[in-house]
Structure 1
C-alpha cells in the first residue's frame, strides 16, 4: 500500500471493500460517519456554541435496530490499534460488544464478549468477520434462543420523515424488548426528563406488539394531559387499534389501551373500571412516571398492577422513588438502563443550567414577634421564632413575597421579559399571593394582557385551561406560570428558560422533576439553556450524590414509624393561607382554624416587617456535571493557570495564534465564562485583559484604551488611503465589540465597510487576500503590544 492516504481514503479504498467482501450489506448493514451525540451546549452570554459531537467512522448492524460493531479508522501514519481507545469509548456508550480499529493495513479486534478466546487480536484485511459470525457470537453471549430471536429482531416503526431513535433510546428499547422476550415480567427504565420517554414507550410497545409477543397492551399515566399528548403525538401511529378508557362502557375489540390511574380506580367499588377486564386480558402494561402512585405498596394504583399481575409490566421514570416506605426497585427490580441528566447535558440533548441563589435576612435569622404583637387582622401572634419552614404556611410575611417578586422581575427586565417562567410555591394559597406580588411588579405587561401572569394550580379552572398555551412554544401567553405541585411533572415546557424556587422542597424525586421542567432544548425558539432562581436553599440538593447517580434501594417494609409521604399533586389546596381568621381553613395536620369557637388561627399575616435580600450568588454548570461552587474569578484563575502555567506562556500562545477566538473557545469549554466575568470585572475590557487580570493579577486596559494606543503609534502609515481607512474602522469596531468581531473577512460586508467598496475592492487595496490577512494579524499585534 502506498503512503499518504488520508483517513477518508483509508475508509473508501480499504475498509469498506473489506467489510463488503466479508458479507456486510453496504446499504442495509454498514453506516459510515455516524454522529450519535449533538455536542454539549456551552453558553456564552446570550449566545451559545456546541462542542464537537461524537461520531463513529462505522457502525455495523445485523439489522437496523441491532448494532453489533464499531470500526474506528486512522490514516496510514498511525498504527493499526491507534483508534482502539476511541472506539472502545464509543462502544461503551452505544452498548456494542465488538470493536475494531484499522489503518487500512489490518484490523485490531477487541471482543467484549470474551468468546474469541482472547480480548484483542490482529486480523488481516481479509479476515474481517461476517455478519452471521458476529450475530452468532452475540446470541451466545446474550443467551438468545430461536424463539427470542424472532421477537428481538423485530424492526422499529419506520417514520416517513426518516426520524430514528437516538442512541440511548435505541439501547433502552432493545434492552427492554430483550428482557421481555426472555420472560422477565417486571422492568424498570430510568431516563432523564426531556429525553423522550414516550418515544421509547411507543417503539417498545410497537416492536412487542408487531412481533405478536404482546397482543393487548395498557399504557397508564396519572395526568390527563399526559395521556392526551401521548395519543396525539408518539402513539398516533397505532391509529384505530388504540383507544382511551373513559368510562364503564368499554369496547374490548381494541389492542392498545390508554388510561388514567384515577380514571379506572376509586375508593368505591363501582369506580374500579379496570375490573371490567379479566385479570388475563392485558399481557403488557407500561406505567409512565412510575415514581408516583405505583411506587407505593398500599396505593390504589398498585392495585391495578397486582390485578393484572400476569402481564409484563414496564415502569418508566426520570426519578425512581426510593425511601424507607416507597420503592420502585422493590417492585420492578434494578433499572435495566439509566440515562442521566448529566449524560444528557454532556451529549447535548439536554440544556445546561445556572443557579442564582438568594439569601433573605429573615430566612437566616428567623423572626420573633414582639410581646403581644398582633397580625394585620388583629390576632395576637404566638411568641416563638418563625423560620423559613413556617413562612407561607403558619406565618405569611407579605414583604417577603414582595421582595422575591421584585428580584424575579429585575432579572426578567435584565434578560427577557417574555421568557417562559415557572415559579414553584409552598402551596396553592402561597401561589395566589405570589401571583398578586408579581402582577404588581409587572403592571405594564399585565395591562397589555392579563394572561402574562397566570396561577396554574389544581383548584383553578381558568389557570388549568391555560396550561396548554403555556406549553405551546408558539403561544406568547401565559409567560409566567405560578404553581405549587401541578407542574412538577409531565409538563412538556420546551421553552421554559427560568425556574423560580420558593418552596421548601426536600424530596429528591420532586426536585429532579422540577429541574426537568427546564432541561428540554428547543432550537427553533432559541432555547438552549435555563436559569434557576433559588430563594430557599433548595439547590443544595444538587450536591447530593443521589441527584444524578444510579438509584439505590433503601426500602424497608415494616421498619420504622415514619408515615408514608403524601402523593404529589395539588388538586386541592393544602391549607388556607389566603383567608383571614374566621374562615375555618383546615390545617396540614388536620387541626381546625379559628372558626368562631375562640381558637387561635393557625395562620398569621404580617405586613409591616421589612424583608431584605442580603446576598446573591451565581453558580454555573461545570464541565464535570457539578455546579461550580467557588466564585467565578477564583474558578477562572484556577482553570487558566491549569492551562497556562505562567503569564509568559499565556502571552506566547495568545500572540502565536492567528484567531484569538480559538483560545477563547478552548477556555469556554473548560467553563471559563468570559461574558459572565465581564459582569464582575467590567464590560469594557477585552477577554485578553480579563484573563490577564483575573489569572495573573495584571492591570487591565479597556478596549478603547488599547485602540487609542495603536492610533497614537501611527501604525498604518505604510498603507494607502483606502487600506488605512479600513484598518482604522476595524480598530473602532474592536473598541466597540471586541477582537472576535474583526478576525474574519465576513466583517467587510458589514457597516461601515460596505460603504468603502466591495469585499474584493477592499482586499485589492491591501494587495490581495494574503496581504489583507497579514495586515489584520499585524493590527492584532499592535493592539496587544503593550503586553
Structure 2
C-alpha cells in the first residue's frame, strides 16, 4: 500500500527516501553506487546551421559497482505516479550499452528486477524494497554471465590508472579494457579491439598495459616484471603517445629506433669490425615503429636482440595496416614474439580477399563504431557537400590531332573520371577545386584547419600551388597558410606538429596524399576535402576520421566533407559502420606476399614512400619501373555543374535526397497543412525548442536556411519550402515590428535592451535570444552585467517574458 503522501514526492525524493535506503540496507556501501549524476554520454551534437547544439546526455539513476569501473547493475527510478516497472525499456537499453547484466526499476513501492544473464527464472519479477539483492549475489551473477572463474578474479579486478584528477574512463573505454582483461584471464592470446578514430585507442591501450602489469604476478608468478611492446607505423603516433596517454610510464618506458641496428665500419683494406648500439633491456614498456626494428637484412632486425619470450604483451596500434598480412615483415615480429599476449587495435579492420585482421587476431572483443560515437556526442557529426564538375561528370575527348602542353599527341579516346588525374592532367580542374575550397573557407572561417586529400604527391603539389595563388593575401602574411605535407617533403613533415596543434594557427590548409590519412590527431580539423579516388572503405574511414574530434573550446562541433570525387558513396555501404565480415581468401596461386607487402610502402621513419613526380622512373623493390605516362592539357574549360549538401539524419544515415526536396517531403509528412505547422510553432515554449524538435525528427530546417537563404528565418524557409508562402528576411520582420510601435511599451535602458535583442535577431535569428549569455556581449555589456540587465525587467522570469513577447510579435502571422 502506498504512503498517502508518496504520490506528491518528486523522483529525487523517491530516490532519497526509499531507493537509496533499500540499497544500503541490502549491504551496498554508499561508495559502491553512483546516483543520478552518472552521465555516460556527452549528448549528441545537433548541427544547427553553422553551429552545434548538444542534446541531453544519457544518464542512469543508479550505477551499482563491484569496484570502481566494474559496474554490475543499473537502477532506473520513477516517481510514485508510475508503476514499479515503468522505465524498464530505457533501463534495458542503458544496461546493454553499459555492459551490465542486472537491471532494476522502482517507483518507491517495490523493485522490478530483470535478469539479462538468463540464469534466473522468471527473467523479470517484482520484489519488495527489503528484498533488493546484495552485492555478493549480483557479483556472482556477473561472474557467471561473463564466465569468470574465482581464479580469474584477481586479473579482471585490477585497478585502472588514477592520475588523481578524478578522470574516469568513458564507458566504452572501460568496457574495452575490462573485456580485454577478461579475455587475458581466460587464456586468450590474440585479441582485437575496434574503436572509431578519435575515441581514445591509445588511452585504452595505456590502461590495458597498466592493469596487465598489476595482474602479471597472477598470470605468470614465476617470471617477475611484465614487459610490453607497443608497435605503431608512424613516428608521430609514438611521440604523441609517449608524451600524452603513456606519460604514466615515464621512466619505465623507452623508444626503439633504427640506431639500435648493427652497423659495419671498414677499418682498413682487409679489416672490418661490427659495432652494435645494444638495446637497454631494463625498461618495462618499449615503443617502436615496425620499420625501425625490421629490414630486409638480418642485421636490421633489431627486435631479434630480444629473446622470443622477452615480451609478455604486444600491442599493435592501427593494425589494419601491414600487420594483417601473412607474409609481411611486420607480421614476422608478431610471430617471433608468439608466446606473448597480442592485442590488435584499429578503427578500420582490413577485411579483404587477401588480408584479414580477424584471421590473425580473432573476432573483436568489442566494437565502438563511428555511428555510436556520434550518437553519444563523443565524436563530431558531419555535413557532406558533393561537388560535380563537368569534366568529371561527362569526361573529355581531345580534338583530332590535339597535342598536350609538351607537344605530345594525345591518344584519341573518351577520358573518364578514372583517367583524369591518372593519364590526363587538367590544370583548370585543380584551379576549380581550389576555388571552391577557398570560397567555402571565405564564407565560413579562413583559419579552419583543412586537409585536402589528393591522388598522389604531384597532385598534392599542384593543389598547393593553386590554393596559394587563390589565397595570396594570407600566404603573404605567412607562407605556411598552405603547405604540402607528404612523405617526400621534409619542410611539410616538419610542420605536422604545428598543423595538429590547436594553439598553432599555421599551417591552415594541408595538401597531402596519404601521410595525414591515419594516426594524425588533427583535433581542430573542420574541413576534409576528398579530391582523390578512394576505392578502399578502410582508407575512406581513415581519411574522414581526421575530422571526428570534438573541441568545443575551439569552436569545433562538427566537420564538413567537401567531396569532388563522389567517394562519400561509401557511406551507403552496408558494412561502413558495422563489424567486419571475415572474407579472407587465398589467391589462386597461394602467394600473398606481393599483395600484402605493396599495401603500405613506408620508409624507415614510418612515412609514405610516395611518388615525387621528379622523373620518368621510380625506385621500387625489385628494380626501376617506368612511371605511367601523363598528358597535361591546359586551357580546358572546367565548371561546377551541380552541388548537393547532405546531412546526417536522425537515424545516423546521410539524407539521400537534395536537402530542399527532403525538407519539403518531411514537413508535409509531419505537418500536412500550413496551419498545422504554424500552430505547432506557436504552441512551442520558445522557437529554439521547436527547431530542436524539427531537427530531432530529421527535418533540418536550419541547415536548409543556412544553405539557400542565410538572411531568412528558418520559420520563413519552412513555410516557403513546405507550403509555398512568400518568405520574409529577418530584416523585414524586424522592420515590421519597429513600424508597429512595439518599442513604445519600453522606455530608457529597457528599450535599449529590446532594441538590441531585435538587432541580434536580425544578425542570428531567434535561437540566440533564448540564451541569457547573449547579455555578455555588446550592446548589452555596455548597459551592465547580465544580472543588472535582467534586473531592469524586475526578475529573470519577467525578462524572459519580454523575450517571448518579442518573439511572438516577430512571428505574427499577419506579417
Question: TM-score, normalized by length of structure 1?
Answer: 0.93
Partner of 2:691: 664
Which is further off, 286-295 or 755-764?
A: 755-764
Contact 2:691 2:702 in 1 (8 A): no
Among candidates 446, 459, 465, match of residue 488 of structure 2: 459
Contact 2:488 2:610 in 1 (8 A): no
Query: Per-residue deviation at 1:752?
Result: 5.8
Sort the Cα spacing of 1:488 and 1:652 in 2 relative to 1 into closer, same or farther, 3 A.
same
Partner of 2:666: 639
Query: Per-residue deviation at 1:150?
Result: 0.9
Query: Per-residue deviation at 1:761?
Result: 9.5
Which is further off, 135-144 or 407-416?
A: 135-144
Which is further off, 524-533 or 645-654?
A: 645-654
Which is further off, 9-18 or 752-761?
A: 752-761
Query: Per-residue deviation at 1:179?
Result: 0.5
1:169 is aligned to 2:173: yes
What does 1:334-413 align with in structure 2 at a 5 Å threshold? 334-413=363-442
Contact 1:486 1:569 in 2 (8 A): no
What does 1:89-108 align with in structure 2 at a 5 Å threshold? 89-108=93-112
Partner of 2:580: 551
Query: Per-residue deviation at 1:693?
Result: 1.6
Deviation sequence 1:460-511 (CA, Å, 0-9, x none):
1111111111111111111111110111101011011111111111011111
Partner of 1:508: 537
SS in 2 for 1:165: coil
| CA–CA separation in structure 2 for the residues paired with 1:758 and 1:36 | 35
Partner of 1:55: 59
SS in 2 for 1:548: coil
Contact 2:403 2:409 in 1 (8 A): yes
Sort the Cα spacing of 1:301 and 1:703 in 2 relative to 1 into closer, same or farther, 3 A.
closer
Sort the Cα spacing of 1:745 and 1:481 in 2 relative to 1 into closer, same or farther, 3 A.
closer
Query: Per-residue deviation at 1:116?
Result: 2.1
Which is further off, 23-32 or 730-739?
A: 730-739
Partner of 2:635: 608
Which is further off, 43-52 or 388-397?
A: 388-397
Among candidates 176, 201, 220, match of residue 231 of structure 2: 220
Contact 1:190 1:339 in 2 (8 A): yes
Which is further off, 76-85 or 375-384?
A: 375-384
| CA–CA separation in structure 2 for the residues paired with 1:745 and 1:312 | 55
1:153 is aligned to 2:164: no
Query: Per-residue deviation at 1:100?
Result: 0.4
Sort the Cα spacing of 1:318 and 1:715 in 2 relative to 1 into closer, same or farther, 3 A.
closer
Partner of 2:599: 567
Query: Per-residue deviation at 1:60?
Result: 0.4
Among candidates 191, 197, 200, match of residue 196 of structure 1: 200
What does 1:756-775 align with in structure 2 at a 5 Å threshold? none
Sort the Cα spacing of 1:439 and 1:578 in 2 relative to 1 into closer, same or farther, 3 A.
farther
Among candidates 182, 185, 188, match of residue 184 of structure 1: 188
SS in 2 for 1:234: coil
Query: Per-residue deviation at 1:428?
Result: 1.1
Contact 2:26 2:130 in 1 (8 A): yes
Deviation sequence 1:649-698 (CA, Å, 0-9, x none):
22222223342221112213334334432245433433322222222222
How many residues were matched structurally?
778
| CA–CA separation in structure 1 for the residues paired with 2:103 and 2:360 | 36
Unmatched segments (≥5 aa) in structure 2: 221-225, 262-277
Partner of 2:223: none
Partner of 1:526: 555
Query: Per-residue deviation at 1:379?
Result: 1.8
Contact 1:217 1:283 in 2 (8 A): yes
Sort the Cα spacing of 1:139 and 1:697 in 2 relative to 1 into closer, same or farther, 3 A.
same
Which is further off, 653-662 or 401-410?
A: 653-662
| CA–CA separation in structure 1 for the residues paired with 2:537 and 2:677 | 43
| CA–CA separation in structure 1 for the residues paired with 2:16 and 2:76 | 13
| CA–CA separation in structure 2 for the residues paired with 1:232 and 1:766 | 53
Q: CA RMSD in A?
A: 2.8
Deviation sequence 1:427-485 (CA, Å, 0-9, x none):
11111121111111112211111111111111111111111111111111111111101
Question: TM-score, normalized by length of structure 2?
Answer: 0.90
What does 1:235-634 align with in structure 2 at a 5 Å threshold? 235-246=246-257, 247-248=260-261, 249-559=278-588, 564=595, 566-568=598-600, 571=607, 574-575=610-611, 577=613, 583-584=616-617, 593=626, 602-634=629-661
Unmatched segments (≥5 aa) in structure 1: 595-600
Partner of 2:26: 22
